[in-house]
Structure 1
């Protein structure tokens, strides 16, 4: 009888142990699902690019932990997920990526991860009629350069945060409202500065066609040597056509991008000189990647302001 009681007691302890382990396991796997939260009390958010990660860290505040897969100088068009990235994605409660074929090599990864947890392509939440297309019909994915569109995309991400952490919904909304006011101020600031550039000089020449939305919003003609993706090749005709535009408008400067090889832009500068036009290198712009974390350019607002200031100084002739 005593032996039976001991066995029963041991069995009960084992059963309880299994239940506790299962509950602990459940708390990890359901974290980030609607109404769930991480063990540390924060949502673990993984974003592909810093243009998403940094604004979400502002809106999420101390209720979220945000990580970006791609850092400064990284080209998302060519980026392929590493094993470390896969583990990081699997550890997240919510995954945000830009979409619209920006992270082209990661689409299958997102599809698999999306079977287990919320995964949102924030760019694909936007109205299709608001998106730009190239001559071949490909959608321009560089939507963060239109502040109004980016507010909508980040707004969609914020709604996902609210679903995942309902108790913090008001907190996220309040932070979003404050942040969006800063974006509205940035939009006004950029418009006031760039309209000072003489109309005939409002031609922005860069390594690849990343500034279409920026040009549309700011009334600037944009010329990219490469197409929408950096996978496109630059031909001699592309360079020659760009030189003709520079000579026609007597554009004083062209720009390199932080994540793109500057060789093609240098070829344009040399070609323009042979045509009798002294074109200068106007500076470095941030296109597909932002600056280093901890710097002004490592924030979305700081990155955008840097680009505006750099373009203004080079094309207006009022540079320091």
Structure 2
């Protein structure tokens, strides 16, 4: 592990040195022949946000595709090269991309414009983490109002990168915030279809705590905040007891987490004489596939709330 990380860091430093004398807006450097700024993002949620706010002035390349788990993602030598050649790099922060932290530090130290959207969120809005390895829960996109703050932080980065089009970025941001307000209203409206006692969300890992706080759900995850943690026998047993006691109708698998743990939980509940169904698949650390109704952040969140409410009604 240490050898791999060291190799990546060495590649970072070499790339910084080699490209240090070139202009970041030079199309031959960015690989963009359209004269757009080349922006690299980590997660699919950030790729979608950057496309929405950056509009016609940026070319967005995401390192992670749909279904990829950012907690476990490791930057390859190719990823480091892409980030160094980019005009701006956007990442979530709060240790979501836990295995890429030192790479970001190296790039930042080399003068690259690096934007962590979590820097735009006041600490009192963040949830503390029960995982000793990190201070705060990084799944900030599951509270739409917090994601609005993240969007504003991203727009600041774009305007720093491209002062010529500040007005256009502000207009795109304004439109995006309106869409997020509409999404927030939709989630609340659908939630009202559920009696309060039915608003219990059980998933593979603790990705939905911001969602629970914002929209009034009791959220339980089989694994911890990071998928790097493992669910033990006692975790399965305790959650199975909770499901039987509360007569929970459904539990949910996640698009970026193997479903075997939830299936084991379902079997443990069955062994106690109660049947709980798998209510469907939720998008947790990634948006949906291209061409699906969930290929955007907004579409993903709508898909999630529809799946949750329809299964728990």
**TM-score category of the 2 structures, normalised to the smaller one:** 0.7 to 0.9
Q: Is the 8 A contact 1:77 1:105 kept in 2?
A: yes
The whole-number CA distance in structure 2 between the counterparts of 1:58 and 1:27 is 31
Correspondence 1:208-227 to 2 at 5 A: 208-227=205-224
Larger radius of gyration: 1
Tell me which residue corresponds to 2:201. 204
Gaps (5+ residues) in structure 1? 1-24, 33-37
Tell me which residue corresponds to 1:245. 242
Of 232, 235, 247, which aligns to 2:232? 235
Tell me which residue corresponds to 1:177. 174
Tell me which residue corresponds to 1:124. 119
The whole-number CA distance in structure 1 between the counterparts of 2:20 and 2:253 is 49
- Match of 1:269, SS state, is helix
Of 134, 145, 149, which aligns to 2:146? 149
Deviations 1:220-239 (A, max 9, x none): 00000110101111111111
The whole-number CA distance in structure 2 between the counterparts of 1:303 and 1:71 is 14
* Alignment of 1:266 onto 2:263: yes
Q: Is the 8 A contact 2:208 2:219 kept in 1?
A: yes
The whole-number CA distance in structure 2 between the counterparts of 1:40 and 1:104 is 33
Of 58, 61, 65, which aligns to 1:64? 58
* Alignment of 1:187 onto 2:181: no
Q: Is the 8 A contact 2:139 2:210 kept in 1?
A: yes
Gaps (5+ residues) in structure 2? 1-18, 27-31
Give the CA RMSD over aligned residues.
1.7
Of 50, 53, 59, which aligns to 2:47? 53
The whole-number CA distance in structure 2 between the counterparts of 1:263 and 1:254 is 13
Q: Is the 8 A contact 1:201 1:249 kept in 2?
A: no
Tell me which residue corresponds to 2:130. 135
Aligned residues: 287
Post-superposition offset of 1:27: 9.3
Of 102, 109, 120, which aligns to 2:96? 102
Tell me which residue corresponds to 2:106. 112
Q: Is the 8 A contact 2:293 2:300 kept in 1?
A: yes
The whole-number CA distance in structure 2 between the counterparts of 1:181 and 1:303 is 17
